[in-house]
Amino acid sequence: MSDAAIALRDISFTWPGQKTPTLALDRFDVQAHEQVFVSGPSGSGKSTLLALIGGIASAQGGSVAILGQGLDALPASRRDRFRVDHIGFIFQQFNLIPYLSILDNVLLPCQFSAYRRERALAQGQDLHAAAHSLLRSLDLAPDLWRRAVTQLSIGQQQRVAAARALIGRPEIVVADEPTSALDSDRQHAFLDLIQHECEQAGASLVFVSHDQRLAERFHRRIALNDINRCASMEDAG
């Protein structure tokens, strides 16, 4: 129990203004260093689950513990801090801030978190060196770094997003359908890189996708439809 990265118990969550709960589940666990595949089509409560893990929303019932820290007990601003300190997020697409350089995009978590900044500095001589080595290991050549974000391909953008999620070695990486905009070959190449980096960093990986072909690459598979008692039936496929 103590080395559980994520531990959700007896969760019940209703978005403000809605009558019925969106998410109700008994338990959802991710162990440290574990790479979990979560299949969650729309309507399965996926967004809600990620919001709870990220501490963006807090459940009306049950408990959310990240790295042993109960999020429910923390005030909202502390949860914001906790999120950036320990969790890296990768989204489906549009991960990058268009007006920041690639390097600044990667270093964003270090701007908001002193913890991530220190851990990044422990990786390299300075922040830039840490970002450079991550970008390199994610197969982004130095001549790309100076380009505008909008000049990158989707696959390259997702790898920059991965570098941002990984910088400063957060204990947990949450990826929300990061490969859905990529073609099949690139999906696997991207997964190779990110799974390798998570292993290297010792991070737990929560990978949310509806693409079952990717599921076998993970230690464990969780179908959100099966554990969420509130999953809407029409979407639950």
Partner 1 sequence: MSFLFRLAARSAWNRRFTLGLMLLAIALSSAMLLGIERIRHEVREGFSQSVSGTDLVVGARTSPVQLMLYAIFRIGGATNNMGWDSAQKLAKNPAVAWTIPLSLGDSHRGFPVLATNGNYFEHFHYGDGQALHLSEGRVFGSVFETVIGAEVAQHLHYKLGDHIVLSHGMGSLHLTDHADKPFTVTGILARTGTPVDRTVHIGLDAMEAIHLDWEGGAPMPGLSIAPALVKKFDLTPKTVTAVLVGLKNRAAVFGVQRDIADDNSEPLMAVLPGVALDELWQVVGVGENALLLVSAMVVIVGLAGLVSAIMASLGERRRELAVLRSVGARPTDIFLLLALEGLAVMLAGVVLGVLLLTLALVALGPFLSAQFGVTLHATLPAAGELQLLLWTIAAGFLASLLPGLRAYRLSLADGLTPRI
Q: How far is the CB of 48 from partner 1 (least distance, A)?
A: 9
Told to check if 8 binds partner 1 by CB under 8 A, we report no
Told to check if 83 binds partner 1 by CB under 8 A, we report yes
Q: Where are the alpha helices (DSSP H) in the chain?
A: 46-54, 76-86, 102-112, 114-123, 127-137, 142-145, 154-166, 184-201, 224-227
d(CA 150, CA 117): 26
Residue where the block lists tokens 């990667």: 106
Question: What is the identity of the amino acid at 146?
Answer: R
Residue closer to partner 1 (CB basis): 3 or 72: 72
Q: How far is the CB of 35 from partner 1 (least distance, A)?
A: 20
3-state secondary structure of 134: helix
Of the candidate residues 10, 72, 94, 183, the single one contacting partner 1 (CB under 8 A): 94
Of the candidate residues 73, 76, 122, 129, the single one contacting partner 1 (CB under 8 A): 76
Which residues in 180-199 contact partner 1 (CB under 8 A)? none
Residue closer to partner 1 (CB basis): 93 or 189: 93
Told to check if 80 binds partner 1 by CB under 8 A, we report yes
How far is CA 47 from each of CA 42, 52, 140, 219, rounded to the nearest angstrom?
A: 8, 9, 30, 22
d(CA 169, CA 85): 9
Closest CA to 53 of 40, 37, 41, 69: 69
Told to check if 95 binds partner 1 by CB under 8 A, we report yes
Contact status, residue 102 vs residue 160, Cβ threshold 8 Å = yes
Of the candidate residues 117, 119, 159, 164, the single one contacting partner 1 (CB under 8 A): 164
Of the candidate residues 60, 61, 111, 180, the single one contacting partner 1 (CB under 8 A): 111
Q: How far is the CB of 9 from partner 1 (least distance, A)?
A: 21
How many C-beta atoms lie closer than 10 Å to residue 56's C-beta?
A: 14
Of the candidate residues 8, 50, 162, 222, the single one contacting partner 1 (CB under 8 A): 50
d(CA 154, CA 178): 10
Told to check if 28 binds partner 1 by CB under 8 A, we report no
Q: Which residues bind partner 1 (CB under 8 A)?
A: 47, 50-51, 54, 56-57, 76-77, 80-81, 83-85, 89, 91, 94-100, 108-109, 111-113, 164, 176
